[in-house]
Chain A
Amino acid sequence: MKPDKVIAGIMLVVGLVVLFRTSTGGMGQSYSREVTVSPASAPDVQWSKYEDAFPREQGEPGVSFSWSRTLGLWISALLTLAIFSFLLGDNVVYKLAEAIFLGVSAGYVMVAGFYDGIVGKLLAGLAPTLMRDSLLPGLPPEQQTNWLNIVPLILGMMLLWRLSPKGGWISRWPIALFIGITAGFRMLAYFEADFVGQIQNTIVPLLVFAADGSFDWVQSVKNLLMVTGVLSTLTYFFFSVEHTGVIHRVSRVGIWVLMITFGVGFGMTVMGRIALLAARLEFLFDDWLWLIDPLNRRS
């Protein structure tokens, strides 16, 4: 039997099981609870908000079946399966899911950036009264107009000039400024926390004695390994001297340290990827298929 037919068969069986369980109400449903909210400052004003509710809570006051949440759950599950389908080869379903993910992410980041950055920082500084009366009612009354905000406003507009068919060079000025500031900004931080800080972290006693005066051989070995590892790795990257004799032997140790570090990195990456897969499978088995119930949401 060809692999494609086996896979199609498995998918058909799974699809039929899902169809049966859905039709009998045994999976893929979400519930919400209506909660009435009233601000302390104006108790007469009330509105409703909807919170997640567990299926076992259905029948309780305010708890009802939620079409929107159920739809969201199914879209989420089907998109997860669509992404998994890449394992069988590139296909249109995967591409669709990928495009949706990218589009939603970009849209979300843009909206969040606009509201929190442009409105929350730029416009709140330039026109605090207008923002207080419209979008940001909680803006402190003592906040005054910060005319310095005109600078980022102008720079931002210059940056958008890139989209214009003429005068695109104008956008180079804010980009140059941004790169210059960022480079200087980060250089200082790296110099202090990573360069000087890491040198300080490497200056440790090789013979460590505990508070009671006894020799702490575990910590001593740890420190010795750390210092040896740093020095041998640095020697490996020291190309101004020919790697022969002692330098060659020390740099070989450096290679071993690097290989062990890469191994640790690979192991940690594997752990991370398995964790992500486990989280998605738990979502499918618990939230969607209702095969497990670790949080007692249905019983």
Chain B
Amino acid sequence: MTLLKEGQIDRRWIYLAMLCAVGLPILLQLTFPEIPSPKVLDVFDAVDKLPEGSRILMACDFDPASAGELEPMMSAFVRHCGTKNHKLIFLALWPQGAPVIKSNIVILNKEFPEYEYGKDYVNLGYQPGNEVVLKVLVTDFKKQCSTDVDGTSTSTLPLTRDLTKIQQLSLVISVSTGNPGTTEWVQYVASPFGMPMVAGTTAVQAPSLYAYIPRQLISVLGGIKGAAEYEQAIIDHYPTMGENNGAREGLRRMGPQLLGHLLIVMLIVVGNVLYFSQKEKGVGA
């Protein structure tokens, strides 16, 4: 493979370099220290400062395509809530969100065996109807969710028995990648009813949500960096969590981030140097 082809770097070299930059830190399991930023600490405090056993709604609005970014923060939220004995109500506005909920319930069952279905957590599964679901949830919870994912009546489950509308819950956690997602939760639930809400989103989506902070949205975890910082904040406050390698998924992914970004910065510099050197020589003019 020649490095330069018609005055340009053969893109296959770039792919190979990116594979090495991202792959080697994973193989060598390189990790770097993370310092939680104020935005991440706001998310942490919103969950941590709630009275123990508070009821929280966890919206899982993403699919496996975004799992690389969002799964670490979703599991971090579950672990943090489990540590605080918060009661969790899971639901998804995306059909593909339902299996993701199940994989997080596995975490809950394994790491917090005292959690009992119906009493400490409920899985409402996929709720079809996009934002209409949210509109109904704020007026009549049972009308939208008369049964859980297994067809059990929510009127018989201790956690949801007295729930008439979701404003009765202490917090909404939205982990989302697009539409419907965090924006809709802000528009239909948090903003009109002043409901406390935090979110974890893909890096691409995060900048569009910063405008809602802090009045309409407490704070946002943006991408894998947000997930890693959140994991670090949990470990800082609950050191035993640091012994759980599963709770360091986001932190593990920051090694590849560092080298990947360094490579991109280097490529931008090299690209500009090549461009200007060729311009001087009159190539491509």
Given contacts A268-B203, A270-B264, A272-B223, contact A116 B68 (CB under 8 A): no
A15 within 8 A of B: no
CA distance A200 to B156 in the complex (A): 42
Q: Is the CB of A192 within 8 A of B191?
A: yes
Interface residues of A in 143-202 (CB under 8 A from B): 143, 185-186, 189-190, 192-194, 197-198, 200-201
B interface secondary structure, majority: helix
CA distance A193 to B206 in the complex (A): 17
B279 within 8 A of A: no
Chain A: residues with Cβ within 8 Å of the partner, total of: 59
What 1/0 mask marks residues of chain A from 275 to 295 whose CB sits below 8 Å from any chain B CB? Answer: 111111110010000011011
Say how far B50's CB is from chain A's closest CB, in angstroms.
Answer: 24
Chain B residues in 8 Å Cβ range of A295: 245-246
Interface residues of B in 170-201 (CB under 8 A from A): 184, 186-188, 191-192
| Contact residue among A6, A121, A197, A282 (Cβ-Cβ distance under 8 Å from B26) | A282
**9 A-B pairs with least C-beta separation:** A279-B68, A112-B95, A138-B151, A117-B128, A193-B191, A275-B224, A272-B203, A268-B203, A189-B187
Residue of A nearest to B228 (CB): A275
Chain B: residues with Cβ within 8 Å of the partner, total of: 69
Given contacts A87-B12, A116-B126, A186-B131, contact A201 B223 (CB under 8 A): no
B204 within 8 A of A: yes
Q: What are 11 inter-chain pairs, A to B, with CB distance below 8 A?
A: A113-B128, A116-B125, A185-B135, A189-B131, A189-B187, A271-B261, A272-B224, A275-B257, A279-B253, A280-B68, A292-B27
Q: Is the CB of A143 within 8 A of B146?
A: yes
B37 within 8 A of A: no
Q: Is the CB of A285 within 8 A of B26?
A: yes
B82 within 8 A of A: no
Q: Is the CB of A276 within 8 A of B68?
A: yes
CA distance A118 to B275 in the complex (A): 58
